Structure 1
Amino acid sequence: MNVMSVRRAEASRRAGGDRHERTVWPFAALVAAAGLVMLGYALLAQPGWLTGLTLTVCGTNPTAPHAVLLAGVLLMLAWGMARGRQTAWALALCLLAWSAAAELEAALAPSPAAPWRLAPLGFAIIGLWHGRSRFRVPLNATRLKQAAEISAFSVTAILVVGGGGLFMERSHFETPVSAPDIGRTVVSMAAANPGPAAFDGPAWQINGIALLSGGLVIVVTGWLLASAPAPRPAGRAQRAIVRAMVSHPDSETLAPFAMRYDKSYVFSADGRAAVSYRVLAGMAVAGGDPVGARESWPGAVEEYCTLVERSGWRPAVLGAGPDARLLWEERGMRSIGIGDEVIVDTGAFTLHGRSMRNVRQAVHRTERAGLVTEVIPERQLDPGLAGQLRRIHREWLGAAGREHGFAMNLDAMARGVHPDALVAVAMAPEGYAVAFQRYFPAAHAGRNAALSLDVMPRTPLSPNGVNERLIVDMIDYARSHGYPRISLNFAAFRPLLARARSSPESLTGAERATIRAIGLLDPLIQVDSLYRFNDKFQPGWNPRAVYIGSWFDLPRFAVAAFGLEFALPYDRRRTGRAVTAGDPGFEPLKGPAPVEAHRAVRH
């Protein structure tokens, strides 16, 4: 067994033991079962076979509104306990202690009842107290403040609206009532326990107040158990640190995209590596591998996992590369291969040979059209050209105009806020831009140095082949400026598509169905066409994967990932705009010495 296999086995054993120590499902299942008992008691017209279970849970036969309210609270607590929330554990323990105290009080009454419930309640309290260390998500201060505000507003509304409504209906009370009497009636109704029939008015008033109050209790409980809100994007100081890490020789090709203005960061304890992430739909999605010194990557991943657990989020990684996979697997995360990053070796690349015929023809086509290309640092773009590029980009994005991407795209197009960006521009003979591509340097020195493609917008006026021409000229630029690699697009499902082209008879039924689905969706997400475009450059393929904490997280991860990558409307953060050079207090980060514009005119 080699060293890597030993490390994997040890990581699996440690992750399995850690998951066992943190198991909370028995507690959550017990509370959920109690909630379902109460719900069934209320909805099934209080069947006799549930009476014994109801007495065990509640200690009495409650009214149907009471049973529904208690069921909602218990099911909410069960959900919170399944998520490891300390608040759910504390509330459940308080409910058990309260119920035990009531049982003890009944046992000490002048006409005592048999205290048979004390035994199961005692065992439940002891078990819950013994398992307290398994609940590791503390109460979030922001959620507590929001829950208090919701409670204050809702209680005031119920008292004012409910009390006012009953005052207007005061003639329906059996005996004359005062304002305090109406207040006590509202409070009694809000507790879903109106008591003796002292009011013969509309039944919907009593039921409505009880329903609103019960809903308020459940909403506030859910708010207290919710995960921490998504953090604000990182500030200028953190971004400056991460920008320096992107230049570190150990950073990989997706490192530049950590500089998106909507991302947050968590740093290793020594401050030499970081993980960039965003939170959407309760998923903390890390983009690519950590940035910075390779020996500090484990520390950054550990800090990220600690933050995710403490905040009540679910962990996920989008676009993990081979170099970081073991770090995520050591923490018990599950992987899904999603395709390959396209890597071109600039030193070995050539247009000669039959395999490059299509690219060569595309380049010649643009030469005959008189296109001229130029590579310019984004911070050196003149305002007129920058405006043209932004307009091309907006038209390319479509009607919504939202910037896409998360793991392999940056933002703030041609606004001077990413000083290291390089823009390859294709100019028509008349002097206006018809297409461009934006690249970012990663690991500015050493064998890992690379340029990573961001976007490649074009106008309908540009001739076919303009994208191939810009890539070829950018490869020439990278070769002459010390970048041995260029990272192009991402080829989703690349191994499957390659097999479908080379040996379609070897595909299984499920794989054929996947290929057909890709073909149907290709007009929207261009999976197959993008793979065929990339394959023309005879590149290398760097496998990328998704990591999630549990297979049960897959649906929620899909919601988060699609929102992040395609700027869907529920991604509210993306509806804002990135910081621009015209904003008050904006100061571009200092970059390396300006690079001369690289003009490529082919004859």
Structure 2
Amino acid sequence: MLARLRPGAAVATVWYLRLQAVLNIVAVLSLPFREEVHEHNAGEFFTPYLATAGLASAALALFLAVVMRRRKRAAWILNLLLAGPLFALYVLALTQAEFRHHVLNWISVLLTGAFVAALLIGRREFRAIGDRSNPKLALIVAACGILVSGGIGTLLVNATNKLPGATLTDEIAYSLLRGVSVGPLADRVAAVHAPRWVDITINVLMAISFLFVLYACFRAPRGAELLGDEDERRLRALLDKQGERDSLGYFALRRDKAVIWSPSGKAAITYRVLGGVTLAAGDPIGDPEAWPGAIEEWLEEARQHAWTPAVTGASEEAGTIYARHGLDALEMGDEAIVDVADFSLEGRAMRVVRQAHNRVRRAGFTVRIRRHGEIPDAEMATLIEKADHWRDGGERGFSMALGRLGDPSDGSCVMLECNDAEGEPRALLSFVPWGEKGLSLDLMRRDRSSENGLMEFMVIELLLRARDMGIERVSLNFAMFRAVFERGSRLGAGPVLRLWRSVLTFFSRWWQIESLYRANAKYRPVWEPRFLLFEKTSDIPRIGIANARAEGFLSVPSLPSLSRRRHVEAPQERPSPANR
């Protein structure tokens, strides 16, 4: 019986906290409502748990609703520690005659008691653990918040106090009490009378500080366990057996990812935790029959740490299996894959590409193709230096970028070097293995002052020579929302599709959305759809931010990131497909 009630009880606690957050905000905005709540709390009445008509209570209720929805154990404990003794105090108060005859007091006891009962019934639903460093961080944040908010409040009170004779102690006490409530609590400091706008400002500052404290208390673990040597060895063994299944498989070897294995050890998922989102990329590695085991382990870990699970760039095959485990899918775009056997420069459709290739070749440019393991150390160091020099903007990449160049373990990767007529390097491409007979684009760099069309020239040279190298297929860039651009330009496209295409065209001025599609389409590739997988639609904005951070479009400055070394010495991010 209790087992059936647990999920509903857990949900009930969340809705109670949401309701209290709304009521507290309404009370702050509505003077009559606020005064009535304060009157009841100050007289022979008492109100339900967290109903204090203050912004701090509203912030607490709202934040607790969020973390309770994520089933965090620490939030359950905090609610029980706050609501349990309060309920016991209310019950004790009802033994006194002056409290017992007020109906509102009975309602408050019933609501608070129901909340406590729901907490106890739903106890096992709250299993998510937090970071061990959270309590220490919360104390530091609380101390800083009180100093900053209290300091600003004291200065405002000192400058606007309408009564003479107030001491510094009076002003500090008034600021701290006003930070708790805009009601009569601070009126006990008789020597201070500040304007209403000062009271509200102090309360808002304290509420904001309180939110930071709550975040520090309940933030999810950051997933510090990254790819180790043994994990990398095992992943490479799986890629040797099953690497041809997914063109993104080799990117699982990024060393800023963590890995979780299926119980059998025949499959694995690599992921990175950002902002409480456990973000996997591409398909699971290994035997598809073992994928469900790895997915279950990954989802269980997400539940234990209150992480939001998401997958970026999954294939349709993997997306189908993820969907069986409760994840929903959203098509992100398409990956451009060129079948070497079908590629040709002949025909009218390839006239523009053929002309561009001939123009660059007549200008004296040549392309050299080698495996990374065949490049001497001195030459590789020069190429790394050139790649850094040619980099446009910050480091980017996650789902379709390896994040390093020149690592001895990546000897099977393929490097294309483009030299001008004088033999000077002007551009380079790097591809990672896709099984034994495929390549997947990793890195694109060129000298901005060089001839236009070098990238197209290099790609075509690779496709023309690929058959001699034993390469049968090449994965190029990923085109976000390709179907929108293709279908939106056709005759008969609906108004919604045309509008969506216009919006994407507008944003393409900054993010190269349409230009990537056009650049890939010229090679006449096969388009393979890629999907974003998620549990709840409401999580998509959060997942989008985490994805943008992983790919390098958003960054949070930190001292380690500012001092991090490049390439072989330390793993780091390379340009994403949208900027390669």
Aligned equivalent of 1:119? 110
Aligned equivalent of 1:140? 131
- CA distance in 2 between counterparts of 1:49 and 1:288 reads 56
Aligned-pair CA distance for 1:481: 3.7
Aligned equivalent of 2:57? 70
Query: 468, 471, 484: which one pairs with 1:480?
Result: 468
Aligned-pair CA distance for 1:231: 3.0
- CA distance in 2 between counterparts of 1:467 and 1:475 reads 12
Aligned 8 A contact 1:254 1:408 in 2: yes
- CA distance in 2 between counterparts of 1:66 and 1:517 reads 43
Deviation track 1:299-324 (CA, whole Å, cap 9, x = no partner) reads: 22222212222222222211110120
Unaligned runs of 5+ in 1: 1-17, 587-603
Query: 217, 226, 238: which one pairs with 1:245?
Result: 238
Say if 2:461 is the partner of 1:467. no
Q: TM-score, normalised by structure 1?
A: 0.78
Aligned equivalent of 2:95? 108
Deviation track 1:365-404 (CA, whole Å, cap 9, x = no partner) reads: 3332232222222244345543543354345432x3x222
What secondary structure does 1:323 align onto? Answer: helix
Query: 71, 89, 94: which one pairs with 2:81?
Result: 94
Aligned equivalent of 1:39? 25
Letter in 1 for 2:367: T
Say if 2:328 is the partner of 1:340. no
Say if 1:110 and 1:284 are closer, same or farther in 2 by CA, change over 3 A: same
Say if 1:23 and 1:276 are closer, same or farther in 2 by CA, change over 3 A: farther
Aligned-pair CA distance for 1:360: 3.2
Say if 1:386 and 1:53 are closer, same or farther in 2 by CA, change over 3 A: farther
Letter in 2 for 1:247: D
Deviation track 1:172-229 (CA, whole Å, cap 9, x = no partner) reads: 479xx9x9x9999998788668678465157599999887766655433332232223
What secondary structure does 2:445 align onto? Answer: coil
- CA distance in 1 between counterparts of 2:75 and 2:67 reads 5
Letter in 1 for 2:46: T
Identity fraction in percent? 26
Say if 2:432 is the partner of 1:432. no
- CA distance in 2 between counterparts of 1:143 and 1:226 reads 7
- CA distance in 2 between counterparts of 1:64 and 1:34 reads 6
- CA distance in 2 between counterparts of 1:521 and 1:183 reads 50
Say if 1:533 and 1:574 are closer, same or farther in 2 by CA, change over 3 A: farther
Aligned 8 A contact 1:316 1:547 in 2: yes
- CA distance in 1 between counterparts of 2:407 and 2:173 reads 63
- CA distance in 2 between counterparts of 1:194 and 1:130 reads 35
Say if 1:519 and 1:388 are closer, same or farther in 2 by CA, change over 3 A: farther
Query: 219, 222, 233: which one pairs with 1:229?
Result: 222
Say if 1:388 and 1:549 are closer, same or farther in 2 by CA, change over 3 A: same
Aligned equivalent of 2:574? none
Aligned equivalent of 2:363? 369
Say if 2:416 is the partner of 1:419. no
Say if 1:45 and 1:293 are closer, same or farther in 2 by CA, change over 3 A: same
Deviation track 1:336-357 (CA, whole Å, cap 9, x = no partner) reads: 2122111122233333444433
Aligned-pair CA distance for 1:435: 1.5
Aligned equivalent of 1:263? 257
Aligned equivalent of 2:503? 517
Which moved further from structure 2: 280-289 or 20-29?
A: 20-29
Which moved further from structure 2: 276-285 or 325-334?
A: 276-285
Letter in 1 for 2:460: V
- CA distance in 2 between counterparts of 1:529 and 1:165 reads 54
Query: 366, 380, 383: which one pairs with 1:386?
Result: 380
Query: 302, 324, 333: which one pairs with 2:318?
Result: 324
Say if 1:521 and 1:384 are closer, same or farther in 2 by CA, change over 3 A: farther
Aligned 8 A contact 1:41 1:50 in 2: no
Say if 2:541 is the partner of 1:555. yes
What secondary structure does 2:133 align onto? Answer: helix
Aligned 8 A contact 2:23 2:53 in 1: no
Aligned 8 A contact 1:320 1:547 in 2: yes
Aligned 8 A contact 2:45 2:99 in 1: no
Aligned equivalent of 1:441? 433
Say if 2:481 is the partner of 1:489. no
What secondary structure does 2:421 align onto? Answer: coil
Unaligned runs of 5+ in 2: 572-580
Say if 1:318 and 1:22 are closer, same or farther in 2 by CA, change over 3 A: farther
Aligned 8 A contact 2:226 2:257 in 1: yes
Q: TM-score, normalised by structure 2?
A: 0.81
